[in-house]
Structure 1
Amino acid sequence: SVKIYRWRQSRVLSVWPFLLFLCCLAHTVSGQIRYTIPEELKKGSLIGNVAQDLGLDVQRLRSGRARIVTRQSVQYTELKTDKGILVVNERIDREQLCGDVTPCSFSFEVILENPMELHRVTVEILDINDNAPVFRKDEIKFEISESATLGSRFLLPSAEDADVGSNGLQKYILTTNDIFGLKQHSSPDGRKYAEMILQKPLDRESEPRMSLKLIAVDGGTPHRSGTVNIDITVLDANDNPPIFNQTLYRATVSENALKSTYITTVNASDADSGSNGLVTYRFSNMREQLAEVFDLDEITGVITLTGQVDYEKDKKHEIMIEATDQGGLTDSSKVLIEIVDVNDNAPVINVMSFSSPVPEDSAPGTTVAIINVIDADSEQNGQIMCSTDSSLPFKIKSTLTNYYALVTDSAFDREVVPEYNITVRATDSGSPPLSSTTILRLRISDVNDNAPVFEKSSYVSHLPENNSPGISIFSVKARDHDWNQNARISYFLEETQINGSPTSSYVSINSETGAIHAVRSFDYEQIKQLQLVVKAQDGGSPPLSSNVSVKIMIQDQNDNPPQVLYPVQTGGSLVAEMVPRSADVGYLVTKVVAVDVDSGQNAWLSYKLQKATDRALFEVGLQNGEIRTIRQVTDKDAVKQRLTVIVEDNGQPSRSATVIVNVAVADSFPEVLSEFTDFPHDKEYNDNLTFYLVLALAVVSFLFITCLVVIISVKIYRWRQSRVLYHSSLPVIPYYPPRYSDTLGTGTLPHVYNYEVCRTTDSRRSDCKFGGAGSQNVLIMDPSSTGTMQRIIINMPSTGNQKWHFYCLSFYMCVLYDAFTSSCSYCSSLTFIFTAF
């Protein structure tokens, strides 16, 4: 046995380079390799170097998680990925694996991933002579008539050898004798059987019994053999053997035929009469498997079906029939039963590899799954068409025989379809066709291909001023159609400048919720709106973002009271407005000017007279703050009138301010002076002021003496021009109060006001009254000048001897002025406006 095995190995090794070349060529062309090994190798024996034959390195086998996929119930081979070799995993018995089929082989697939590869490997099993020929019976008995003719044939039972080829049954040997010879035959399926041929007449009287041995020998090295004993009983003469009417009977039966189905009838006739002409039938040399499938009526010769036939296992059966008469004469015939294939097997779908999930940015043509479809039927019934739903973005491509690849046909969008239920349908071409389906659930993994989108294109919010720092103003919200981390949104403030300061110094934003908070308290009078840019950024890699404009409008609150601009109210000050007793009804005394730095209705001001010395004499305009007389002034009215005006805004709640207006009802300055000297003054003046007043009086006296000569000279000239000057008309020069500007462009609008100019019948002797703001002044008009006004302003002290010194100086200057101008009407028409320093 060892020598036979070594001889077989030498033959394999001699053709090994050629087989390797064929394997490499097959791999290059169709992705297949083929190995040939003898059966009964020990576990772990080397079959071949898969990595080398496929052109792969060992690292690729490891990273691709190479594995074997086989349809066999027993995995005969094992792939050593660390070495790239294929070894025997289980004992391989060729007879158990393939039976009589030759050549014997089995196939499996080697699958690699990332990227996906598929390679088919076929392993052919060579037979070794490990089985001897075996007869089913230990003894064969023949009853032969002595009258048997020379050349009569006696069919001998066949031996069965599980080996194939040269290791199978090769010949029969009959022990040496001079009566019977042996003739060997081969059936179309390759089986060998023998017949004994009568070479010399039998003589029952001389030799009634004979014992021979039939030896079956195979072709292995060394040879193996099997033996059966043949016992021959010589009977009395039976001159005619049975003869079949056909040497070959043909019949067909469908593989799905029911039991007791009629197949065919065999018939043999015997020319003898009586018991020697009675013929019986029996199967000859039938295998045990067929004995359970077919039945032969030994009298009628009818063959019926007693079991199940399967086209996929055996496409035809060849049965030997023997007819025997009562004299022991026999004849044989053959029955060939062909199995008709029926489409009784639906395709079987096996998912060899399936990748899920698949990224949504996978390119069209990406392999999702590899599917193996098998149909046990043959020809048309075994032709398979694999398909899937045409409405889905997938298609099926055929790769190797019975292998299909499910590939993508278009781009994915996980936000539209997050997963697919792919129905793969395999249909054969039988009539009617059979089909099977399997469902693959493919999930689409997310890719960061969508930027966050805000719910609004822009946001506008309102925030009352004087808010608490840290208060939540409002929230922005963005959505991202991606999933998981790619849809996790963070919010940021774009760093811009607001009034020269960074945005972060005004507001902050919660990066997770998008809530915007005030960092400081806002003042509407300083800032009216905030223009922000909020950025929403997802957590993808790389991240995507979008911006939105946010406008925060600061709402005004009534947090500022009105401010009185005129008359100016300062500590220790006194403002007096003069109203002549000849003033008519509606005479404009003065106007209270106030502003409110708030806006809107918070800056709408109204004026009311709160208190007055004589309420029946004055009124205040509700909207414009003008103080006018509401009746004719009489001599009974007090010279000194004190009015308290309240200014209110229209806010909720409203705020107000008050102003005190002193009005002098008089026609001349001395009258006013006598009344207003008693007004209280609170501010104390510097004691050195008296010195300055005396010094000023001395300087004026010196200037008077110096200018006296010049004035006398000028007087002569003026006398000549007096007639011209007498008829000349002096212009009226109005006096305007201070111009007050609006604060930050809000609140009350700016106004310019004109104040009263009082004139006598003679235009050259006009009494001009002016309102001062913030100082006590004496204004003296010189009508003799042509179109000009001379004004002397002297700050007037308010207390003690200094005030009287000031009065004396003023009166003295008035007398001097009238003396030079030859007029005394101006001292009586002077209007004094007294204000503290």
Structure 2
Amino acid sequence: MFLTMRRQVLLFLSALCLSCALGQVSYSVPEEMTKGSVVGNIAHDLGLDLKRLKSGKARVYTGASVEYIGLNKDRGVLLIQERIDREALCGETTPCALHFQLILENPMELFRVTVEITDINDNTPSFTNAEKRFEISESAVIGSKFVLEKAFDSDIGMNGLQQYSLSPTDNFVLKLENQADGTKKVEMVLQKPLDREKQEHISLLLTAVDGGEPQMSGTMQIFVSVLDVNDNAPTFAKPLYRAKILENSPKGTSVTTVSASDKDIGSNREVSYLISSSKRLISELFKIDSKSGEIILVGEIDYEKAKNYQIDIEVVDSGGLSDSTKVIVDVIDINDNNPDINIISKSDSISEDSPPNTVIALLSVNDPDSENNGEVECNIDPNIPFKIQTTLNGFYTLVTELDREVASQYNVTVTCSDEGVPSLSSSVTLTLQISDVNDNAPVFERSSYEAYIVENNTPGLSIFTVRARDADWNQNARVSYILEDSSVNGVPVSSYVSVSADSGVIHAVRSFDYEQIKDFHFRVKAQDGGSPPLSSNVSVKIMIQDQNDNPPQVLYPVQTGGSLVAEMVPRSADVGYLVTKVVAVDVDSGQNAWLSYKLQKATDRALFEVGLQNGEIRTIRQVTDKDAVKQRLTVIVEDNGQPSRSATVIVNVAVADSFPEVLSEFTDFPHDKEYNDNLTFYLVLALAVVSFLFITCLVVIISVKIYRWRQSRVLYHSSLPVIPYYPPRYSDTLGTGTLPHVYNYEVCRTTDSRRSDCKFGGAGSQNVLIMDPSSTGTMQRMQSEKSILDEPDSPLEVGPNVVISV
């Protein structure tokens, strides 16, 4: 075996010199060689020095998942790395060869290497079925042919299947017929008439023998059952059928239809079709309708795996007579494979002042499709300073055309497209870094930002993200975000928002209230990591969005507990009479503040209605004498928020023409009690007591005033010195003392009297009722006396004046 290998290697030595000159070398080795076996001295055959192999980091590139051939750089030889099975690697393809490349660097060199794998006799001929059964009529004529199953041998050449033998040969002999594909058609021919009465069953042995050393064989047992009558075998219309089918055709596609005829009649004329190919692959891909002879695709076919299939079809009639034909199915290629791009070698970075045509990457491109579908052309973006060049078939180099250009990096996308219809393409992107200096400041994506956040948010909520980009590279392009110091309504902006230094995400520090703050501004600075660092800033505006968190507030009518407030409607009121208007506000904004008014309850719903938008309460029919005097309306005010909020207000309405009628009817209205006669008595009594007290107080005040005035006149004419004294003012407000309104007191004392003079000053309000019997004259006298009192040299204090604020 090894002598054969050496002999084959010597046959190629005459062509090695020419191969080395072209960067190619070929070897031939038998299959099943042990690991570590020497394939050839690649260094010697290529004229390379062993030092060059080491310094150039020589390596073998196969582009396949399994590397059968390896390189020993110390010896400069190619070695077997994995067991090579020619049948598993190539199948029936001849010649079987491994193609790979030897790659050197510094400088980069590429050599093609081809290793042909020769066959050895390591496979035994075998039949798919261990036995074959025939049912043959005794009337079968001499020369009748019976197609036998062919044996399968994975080996090729002399090691493959060579001949068949049949034993015994009393009734049948073996006939072999060469076919176009190089195989042999095996038929069993009747040479002596059968006699069922003498011999009903015949057993034969078919032996297949190859031509290897040592010779190997396989057998199949043939059983023949002799039948009566049927004396005509079916015959195909053609000895050879051809068909075409597109690869990737769906299962169930009809390939072609074969047809055979039989001269017999009746049941002996009925025929059935079957596939008799010995290859298992055929039965997995195709099936035939036994009645119609239609061949149907049942598997998946791929042009890249097999370009054609040969199907042996057998037709058998009911008597067991048969005929055979061959169907050749040609697979039509479609463009179903994208170009496969592999990066053999590439540089990760390059100086910006690198000379033109510097190689930065070596690519291998392959498309397994055929003809135009497999023709590939590679291109890159013409706007970048690179170009792609083809070297050997299927190999490309990417070179630079930089002319001291300054850039942080280039993403070079190589796109390879085939010439199929439609064209398929693949792409690969190479990233190349360029030496950088920090000469670019970060730039924000926008000149300013606006963001919205709904009020009542959770502290820590992410509002939005600011982003800045830096045209530099690496550390010089690493951007950090900083919140610039500023204040919002006198409060540092950092108590409102914060910014993530790494991501630029802006978070809310507190929960916002739209009713307190509607928007605010601040600035964010983006700073790179260069030395010295460069920065830029951007203005950010945050706008608070309103939420329906406030119910409507009713301004009118005012609801006071225990008070009697009623709107009067005369009985003569017409339809549409405006009774009153409910006024409400909502501190929210937008649709959250859109208010609608509805009448929820009413004493008489047929009498009143409420305007949906304006809150006006109007009559919707003519008021009659039958309508009750007391009418109570409940109005609900709703906003338009989601969910809606509401408030209710009660409106008392009196249907009457006079106040006494209202008083008599509405005394217990606010509390919805029955009319009480005792309450009227108490009201009249209280009114009389108040009137009496008022008249008494008025008389006392006038008397005191006259008395004080006379005393002041006496003091005025005396020669006693008067020292004015102005004590502080005192006030009593509603809810803190016994007086229902504000009263001011001013107390003065004279030097000759221990009696205190009291002066009741004017109230702070403009709504003042002057209670003075002398009317205008008294008021003028009070003003004149006040002017005398205000003089610092006034010898006496003016008498008391009384002002009651109502």
SS in 2 for 1:13: helix
1:292 is paired with a residue of what secondary structure? helix
1:20 to 13, 21, 36: 13
Whole-angstrom distance in 1 between the partners of 2:238 and 2:416: 46
Contact kept? 1:170, 1:192, Cα under 8 Å: no
CA distance in 2, matches of 1:199, 1:43: 54
Which residue of structure 2 aligns with residue 413 of structure 1?
Answer: 404
Per the alignment, residue 247 of structure 1 pairs with 239
Superposed CA offset, 1:757-792 (max 9, x none): xxxxxxxxxxxxxxxxxxxxxxxxxxxxxxxxxxxx
- Matches for 1:411-450 after TM superposition, within 5 Å: 411-413=402-404, 416-445=406-435
Distance 1:188 1:444 in 2: 63
Please give the alpha-carbon distance, in whole angstroms, between the structure 2 residues aligned to 1:189 and 1:32.
33
The CA deviation at 1:141 is 1.1
State the Cα distance separating 1:71 from its structure 2 match.
Answer: 2.4
1:381 touches 1:428 (CA, 8 Å); kept in 2? yes
Q: Does 1:81 align with 2:73?
A: yes
Pairing partner for 1:39 from 31, 42, 47:
31
* Aligned equivalents of 1:418, 1:19: Cα separation in 2: 52
| Offset of residue 23 of structure 1 | 3.2
Give 3-state SS (helix, strand or coil) of 2:281's partner: helix
Unpaired segments ≥5 residues, structure 2:
440-470, 475-806
Q: How does 1:306-321 map to 2 (within 5 A)?
A: 306-321=298-313
Please give the alpha-carbon distance, in whole angstroms, between the structure 1 residues aligned to 2:280 and 2:207: 21
Q: Distance in 1 between matches of 2:179 and 2:308?
A: 13
Shift of 1:176: 4.1
Aligned-partner residue type, residue 170 of structure 2:
D
SS in 2 for 1:353: strand
Matched, 1:299 2:266: no
Aligned-partner SS, 1:35: strand
1:119 to 111, 116, 121: 111
AA paired with 1:17? L
Corresponding residue number in structure 2 for 1:373: 365
Query: 1:691-730 alignment to 2 at 5 Å?
Result: none
CA RMSD of superposed structures (Å): 2.2
Q: Is the alpha carbon distance of 1:242 and 1:482 closer, same or farther for their aligned partners in structure 2, counting shifts above 3 Å?
A: closer
- For residues 253-279 of structure 1, what are the alpha-carbon distances to aligned partners after superposition, in whole Å with 9 as ceiling and x for unaligned? 111211111111111111111111111
Describe the SS at the equivalent of 1:125: strand
Whole-angstrom distance in 2 between the partners of 1:445 and 1:224: 69
Q: Measure how far apart 1:432 and its partner are.
A: 0.7
Which stretch of the first structure deviates more once superposed, 188-197 or 52-61?
Answer: 188-197
Instruction: Say if 2:50 and 2:74, in contact at 8 Å, map to a contact too.
Output: yes
Cα shift at 1:445 = 4.6
The runs of 5 or more residues in structure 1 that have no matched partner are: 451-480, 485-837
How far did 1:446 drift? 7.5
Identify if the C-alpha distance between structure 1 residues 113 and 283 changes in structure 2 by more than 3 Å, giving closer, same or farther: same
Give the letter aligned to residue 80 of structure 1: N
Closer/same/farther in 2, CA of residues 234 and 483 from structure 1, 3 Å limit: closer
Asked if the contact 2:408–2:473 (Cα under 8 Å) also holds between the matched residues in 1, the reply is: no
CA distance in 2, matches of 1:263, 1:482: 63
Displacement, 1:18? 3.3
Q: Does 1:194 align with 2:186?
A: yes
Aligned to 1:332: 324
Once the two structures are TM-superposed, the CA of residue 394 in structure 1 deviates from its matched residue by 2.0
Q: How many aligned residue pairs are there?
A: 443
> What is the CA distance between 1:345 and its match in structure 2?
0.7
The answer on whether the counterparts of 1:39 and 1:125 sit within 8 Å (CA) in structure 2 is yes
Does the aligned pair in 2 maintain the 1:169–1:192 contact within 8 Å?
Answer: no
Q: Which structure: larger Rg?
A: 1
Aligned to 1:359: 351
- Displacement of 1:231 in angstroms is 1.2
Relative to structure 1, is the Cα distance of residues 61 and 196 closer, same or farther in structure 2, using a 3 angstrom cutoff? same
Give the structure 2 partner of residue 179 of structure 1. Answer: 171
Shift of 1:406: 1.4
Name the CA distance, whole Å, in 2 between partners of 1:105 and 1:250. Answer: 30
Q: Deviations over 1:282-305 (max 9, x none)?
A: 001242222122121101111111
CA distance in 1, matches of 2:265, 2:274: 21
In structure 2, distance between residues paired with 1:443 and 1:53: 40
AA aligned opposite 1:42: T
C-alpha distance in structure 2 between counterparts of 1:483 and 1:129, whole Å: 63
Matches within 5 A, 1:149-298: 149-298=141-290
> 1:109 Cα shift?
1.6
Residue 236 of structure 1 and its aligned partner are, at CA, apart by: 0.9
Q: Supply the distance in 1 between the matched residues of 2:316 and 2:429 (Cα, whole angstroms).
A: 62
1:583-732 to 2 correspondence within 5 Å?
Answer: none
Give the secondary structure class of the aligned counterpart of 1:71. Answer: coil
> Where in structure 2 are the equivalents of 1:768-783 lying within 5 Å?
none
SS at match of 2:194: coil
- Percent identical residues: 51
The aligned residue for residue 682 of structure 1 is: none
Tell me the TM-score normalized by structure 2: 0.53
Question: In the TM superposition, what is the alpha-carbon distance from 1:238 to its structure 2 partner?
Answer: 0.8
The equivalent of 1:69 in structure 2 is 61
Q: Indicate conservation of the 8 Å contact 2:34/2:83, yes or no.
A: yes
Query: Secondary structure of 1:135's match?
Result: coil
User: What are the equivalent positions in structure 2 for 1:431-510 lying under 5 Å apart?
Assistant: 431-445=421-435
In the aligned structure 2, how far is the partner of 1:316 from the partner of 1:380?
19
Q: CA 1:186 to 1:72, structure 2 compared with 1: closer, same or farther past 3 Å? A: farther
Query: Mean Cα displacement is larger for which, 320-329 or 174-183?
Result: 174-183
Give the TM-score normalised by the residue count of structure 1.
0.51
Return closer, same or farther for 1:446/1:54 CA change in 2, 3 Å cut-off.
farther
With over 3 angstroms needed to count, the CA separation of the structure-2 counterparts of 1:233 and 1:482, relative to structure 1, is closer
Q: Measure, in 2, the Cα distance between the counterparts of 1:368 and 1:169.
A: 53
- 1:777 corresponding residue in structure 2: none
Shift in Å at residue 11 of structure 1?
3.4
- Write the deviation string for residues 141-168 of structure 1: whole angstroms up to 9, x where unpaired: 1111111111111111111111111110
How far apart are the structure 2 equivalents of 1:50 and 1:95?
26
Cα distance, 1:483–1:346 mapped onto 2, change above 3 Å: closer
Secondary structure of the corresponding residue to residue 351 of structure 1: strand
The answer (yes or no) to whether the contact 2:128–2:278 under 8 Å persists in 1 is no
Amino acid at match of 2:404: D
Q: 2:99 aligns with which of 95, 98, 107?
A: 107
In structure 1, the partner of 2:767 is none
Q: Distance in 1 between matches of 2:352 and 2:26?
A: 39
**CA distance in 2: counterparts of 1:389 and 1:426, whole angstroms:** 12
- The equivalent of 1:492 in structure 2 is none
The one-letter amino acid paired with 1:28 is: A
Which whole-Å deviations, capped at 9, do the CAs of 1:620-654 have from their partners, x for residues lacking one? xxxxxxxxxxxxxxxxxxxxxxxxxxxxxxxxxxx
SS of the residue 1:159 aligns to: coil
| In 1: Cα distance, 2:102 partner to 2:434 partner | 27
- Match for residue 695 of structure 2? none
Q: Give the Cα separation in 1 of the matches to 2:109 and 2:208.
A: 50
Q: 1:88-112 CA deviation, whole Å, 9 max, x = no partner? A: 1111111111111111111112211
- Structure 1 residue 140: Cα displacement: 1.2
Q: CA deviation at 1:443?
A: 2.2
Shift of 1:315: 0.9
Q: Is contact 1:359–1:446 with CA below 8 Å preserved after alignment? A: no
* One-letter amino acid of the structure 1 residue matched with residue 434 of structure 2: I
